[in-house]
Structure 1
Amino acid sequence: MFVTDNFHSLKQKILFFILLSPLLLSAQAFRSYSNEFLTIGVDAAGLGMSKSVVATTNDVNSIYWNPAGLVGIEDYQGSLMHASYFAGIANYNHASFAMPIDKESAVGVSIIRFGVDDILNTTELIDSDGNIDYNRIQLFSSVDYAFNFAYARNLIFKDVKFGVNAKIVRRIIGDFASSYGFGFDAGIQFERNSWKFGLMARDITTTFNSWAINEDEFNKIKDAIPGENQDLPETTEITKPKLQLGVAKSWRIGRMFNLLSEANANMRFTKTNDIFSSDVVSIDPAMGFQLDYDELVFLRAGVGNFQYITEFDNSKSLSMQPNFGVGFKYNGIKIDYALTNIGSVGNALYSNIFSITIDYSFFRP
């Protein structure tokens, strides 16, 4: 019985950290980091350029990168993306659709799903008599959703586009907890000659997440560590605003080649490990390149995520993340591939990302 009790206690401790640590870490009011799955990005083309597309995005994926770019679409467009995260433990998927309203405006909708499925729930593994019963194990998922609704239009001023994105965030941790969140993004693009400029403000009103915690499920594991974590965690979290600035320029190389380059400054209003960091703002620069052959074949590369890493001897070293990608466009269908670390977490394995974008204008008679 002593062994069984120890096993039961160990099982509770493990479950406590696996199941509720994400909630305890994120569901605190006024935290600087929440809804981090929304910072991963969408579309292999943009990820292959290290997310440096704020000034140049002009298709259905602009719903995420900068809604102002939706003005660039001329007909119905749809996009799908899939990526495996942590060597297949989690899956990251994106789908979007956009269409023009008239020559001056467009709308779009998208959904993002980031989830870990088929997690073992062993809170009922041991019955009331202290016996281990594997038939009592159940499966659950930890899933994050984001639903985006975007609108964009040309402004009165020449070459200025504006877009806004309203998002609903739904997060579910099995039967343990769930939340709803609401927020807004806004973006501007400006073009003059071969230069393009972009500004994307994320969570401009801050994004609020309100958690509902199942107390019955929580009570099963809250006493895993005696004397600690006895109370329910805070149930409100706020995502602080972030800014992305982009400037891009394109060149014509010969008769058939085009080169596009873009530099972005990603700013968070808190102190981080970014290469430029202060108590007021931290800046993470990124740069991306795209070389295309007659807009049929695309080769992409980029570098970003410049971070200072603290070593074991307390010295600091600078790390960066390179990204690569290729794309093919034919008869209204564009297929893109990127090799990138979608988690942006140091030594994590790189991920293979695939996306497809369909432009219906090619299929019209």
Structure 2
Amino acid sequence: MNIGVDAAALGMSNAVTSSTNDVNSGYWNPAGLIALEDKQVSLMHASYFANIAQYDYAAFAMPIDERSAWGVSMIRFGVDDILNTTQLIDDQGNIDYNRISLFSTADYGVTFSYARKLPVPGFQYGVNAKVIRRIIGKFANSWGFGFDVGLQFERNNWKFGLMVRDITTTYNVWTIDEEEYNKIKDAVEGQNQELPESTEITLPKAQLGMSKKFDFHNDTSLLAAFNLNMRFAKTNDLISTDGLSIDPALGLEFGYTDLVFLRAGVGNFQLIEQIDNTVYNPSYRVGFQPNVGLGFKYKGIEIDYALTDLGNQSAALYSNIFSVKVDLSIFR
């Protein structure tokens, strides 16, 4: 649920908390759904870790009236066809390859979003209700529930946004198949002797953003956006204290005739350290994640592409992400 959706937003390093205004707002800031003028759908696919893991996203949203809108989205991140070799060796110590089976592990997130304008001009809010489903073959599965709250404000062409994820703390409760667990608990002597914890907790996070779009006389425009991504714990973020850590992100989108878009962003600023807490490279102690993207929009159909760094620019590990967004009014 933290990776992000929509190649357009990922190309801007996710700095879209204040500017998001389409079907994908259900993820980035549900308050942005208010900008919808008609029904929209969005699809995205990405492969991670040399195509081992698949990341898919689909969303639908529409206005209810002039002051409110709603949407629903689903995310799946999964690894399929994993070899289950726990029964490879039988009780007599014989290897039998026919005893190998396949299983999948996948995380699902379904989000229901609602947005509404406030009586105060320029203000709008949105809320998300999330259902989390996690499955590890037949070994274990869990259900989780959580809520997000978003707010946007616009004045003098400046936009401001606040998104608080998992505001009530999101809980996942696991069910473990003890029969399957008992088959493997003695595989390594002295390890896995007790069942894992059955409760998984996701703490709240906040994103504060601001943006402004500059329109020029030659049919070009520039959207500049800035985010402060905050976690309420000490991490390796660029700004880190015992109670709050902040990771800044900057995104730019250059547009021509509202048809072609070129995007760039930088974020995920981290202090690079070794396991023993020594700095990885004293002359280059701050790591960051650069992203670029390209988009085309024509008659309500927008196709976007992003080339994103997975956080280790020294190894040049990049991921190609594609997404499509369709305004369903084009079919009328």
TM range (shorter): over 0.9
Residue of structure 1 aligned with 2:240, choices 271, 274, 277: 277
My pick for the range that moved more, 225-234 or 266-275, is 225-234
In the alignment, what sits opposite 1:225? 188
The 5-angstrom pairing of residues 84-163 of structure 1 reads 84-163=47-126
Higher helix share: 1
Which whole-Å CA distance do the structure 1 matches of 2:78 and 2:324 have between them? 21
In the alignment, what sits opposite 2:26? 63
TM-superposed deviation, 1:221: 1.7
SS at match of 1:56: coil
Asked if the contact 1:86–1:349 (Cα under 8 Å) also holds between the matched residues in 2, the reply is no
My pick for the range that moved more, 217-226 or 242-251, is 217-226
Residue of structure 2 aligned with 1:184, choices 147, 158, 178: 147
Asked if the contact 1:74–1:361 (Cα under 8 Å) also holds between the matched residues in 2, the reply is no
In the alignment, what sits opposite 1:73? 36
Residue of structure 2 aligned with 1:306, choices 265, 269, 280: 269
Asked if the contact 2:171–2:201 (Cα under 8 Å) also holds between the matched residues in 1, the reply is yes
Q: 5+ residue gaps in structure 2?
A: none
SS at match of 1:270: coil
Asked if the contact 2:288–2:311 (Cα under 8 Å) also holds between the matched residues in 1, the reply is no
Which whole-Å CA distance do the structure 2 matches of 1:158 and 1:348 have between them? 46
1:327 is aligned with what amino acid? G
Asked if the contact 1:81–1:94 (Cα under 8 Å) also holds between the matched residues in 2, the reply is yes
TM-superposed deviation, 1:312: 8.2
Which whole-Å CA distance do the structure 2 matches of 1:236 and 1:351 have between them? 32
Which whole-Å CA distance do the structure 2 matches of 1:132 and 1:208 have between them? 41
**Cα deviation 1:36-77 (Å, max 9, x = unaligned):** xx1100000000000000000000000100000001111110
SS at match of 1:47: helix
In the alignment, what sits opposite 2:256? 293
SS at match of 2:125: strand
Higher strand share: 2
Asked if the contact 1:67–1:151 (Cα under 8 Å) also holds between the matched residues in 2, the reply is yes
Asked if the contact 1:247–1:262 (Cα under 8 Å) also holds between the matched residues in 2, the reply is yes
Which whole-Å CA distance do the structure 2 matches of 1:344 and 1:235 have between them? 31
TM-superposed deviation, 1:108: 0.3
Which whole-Å CA distance do the structure 2 matches of 1:344 and 1:153 have between them? 36
TM-score by length of 2: 0.95
Which whole-Å CA distance do the structure 1 matches of 2:212 and 2:294 have between them? 20
Which whole-Å CA distance do the structure 1 matches of 2:312 and 2:112 have between them? 29
Which whole-Å CA distance do the structure 2 matches of 1:93 and 1:321 have between them? 22
**Cα deviation 1:305-362 (Å, max 9, x = unaligned):** 0001115892351111100000000011000000003x54664721000000000123
TM-superposed deviation, 1:127: 2.2
1:48 is aligned with what amino acid? G
In the alignment, what sits opposite 1:201? 164
In the alignment, what sits opposite 2:201? 238
TM-superposed deviation, 1:189: 0.5
Verify: 1:338 aligned to 2:301, yes or no: no
Which whole-Å CA distance do the structure 2 matches of 1:238 and 1:131 have between them? 42
Q: 5+ residue gaps in structure 1?
A: 1-37
Verify: 1:349 aligned to 2:317, yes or no: yes
